[in-house]
Structure 1
Amino acid sequence: MLSITCKTGIRAVLFLATRLKTGDKYSIQEIASGVEGNEHTLGKLLQMLVKKGVISSSKGPSGGFFMTPDQVKAPVLQVVLALDGDELFTACGLGLPHCSAAKPCPLHYAYAKVRDQLEHIFRTNSIEAISKDISKGAAFLS
């Protein structure tokens, strides 16, 4: 499962991606309002996303958070890896530390299949592609 932080981060990235064409920069408060997120938590995760290069920011009176055309082309997987790491795609479904194909847990093969499918979804869907459904009104952030 994705952490609450990661889910909020994906929503924030999609919020920024849908506003790429305006060239505007957005404050933590504006993003929090747009994605129904906690400002304090959102501020921390936005800084993590900037540090990992997923989004950009600028300081000053006209500063804020934004995305570049190259950043929106990245797969959603980049957001997940920046905020949650790769554990979702590598960990045992039962949380066993030594689960593997050589020594599988009772759910190993079924869970590995679903886990791999989820990684495929995040790897093959770009931020841009998903944000287009929001811009068209075919999908919603809140």
Structure 2
Amino acid sequence: MFSKACEYGIRAVIYIVSVSSSGKKAGIKDICKHIKAPEPFTAKILQNLSRLGIVKSTKGPHGGFYVEEGAHDIRLIDIVTAIDGDKLFTGCGLGVDVCSEKKPCPIHNEFKSIRESLRIMLEKTSIQHIAKDLDKGLVFLKT
């Protein structure tokens, strides 16, 4: 459903928010170890998210990725649209170019309601809430 880049991006931001809540920064090696992701690919994803202001980064021996105190209201939809765009919410479930209300594909109506439910869930879900559940051991980022 999400691209691999989006999956890594979501997991990385969850981890970064979790680490930031204790006032620390997360280095790329540490992030990749904890989310079980390839380092160069994840670094590019995080550079993009940093450019967009979703996460912050600093260089140097005490550098790393972090979120500022007031930025803990990041929603899953922020990361998904930053990485994958909005095609998930507007595109055809079968990839048919001419799919529309007037010319629906075979799964148009069913997919439309699923797509809307997914959009609502992504808008409601805060990364801060997920990070708190991660800290409590209620959810996991790797097996």
Q: TM-score range by the shorter chain?
A: over 0.9
1:44 aligns with 2:27: no
What pairs up with 1:63-142 in 2 under 5 angstroms? 63-142=63-142
**What secondary structure, in the 3-state scheme, does the structure 2 residue paired with 1:96 have?**
coil
Contact 2:72 2:127 in 1 (8 A): yes
Deviations 1:27-81 (A, max 9, x none): 1111100100000100100001101111000122211111112322121110101
**What secondary structure, in the 3-state scheme, does the structure 2 residue paired with 1:57 have?**
strand
In the TM superposition, residue 18 of structure 1 has moved relative to its aligned partner by 1.1
Distance 2:71 2:4 in 1: 22
Distance 1:70 1:97 in 2: 41
RMSD over aligned Cα, in angstroms? 1.0
Distance 1:138 1:107 in 2: 35
The aligned length equals: 142
Deviations 1:90-141 (A, max 9, x none): 1000101121111111100000110111111100111111111111111111
**What secondary structure, in the 3-state scheme, does the structure 2 residue paired with 1:65 have?**
strand
Matched AA of 2:62: S
Structure 1: runs of 5+ lacking an equivalent: none
Structure 2: runs of 5+ lacking an equivalent: none
**What secondary structure, in the 3-state scheme, does the structure 2 residue paired with 1:102 have?**
coil
1:16 aligns with 2:21: no
TM score, norm. by length of structure 1:
0.96
Matched AA of 2:50: V
Distance 1:141 1:64 in 2: 19
**What secondary structure, in the 3-state scheme, does the structure 2 residue paired with 1:116 have?**
helix
TM score, norm. by length of structure 2:
0.95
Distance 1:13 1:73 in 2: 12
Distance 1:26 1:19 in 2: 7
Matched AA of 1:125: T
Percent of pairs with identical residues: 39
Contact 2:28 2:39 in 1 (8 A): yes
In the TM superposition, residue 21 of structure 1 has moved relative to its aligned partner by 2.4
Matched AA of 1:22: S
Any runs of at least 4 consecutive aligned residues in structure 1 with deviations exceeding 6 A, and if so which? none
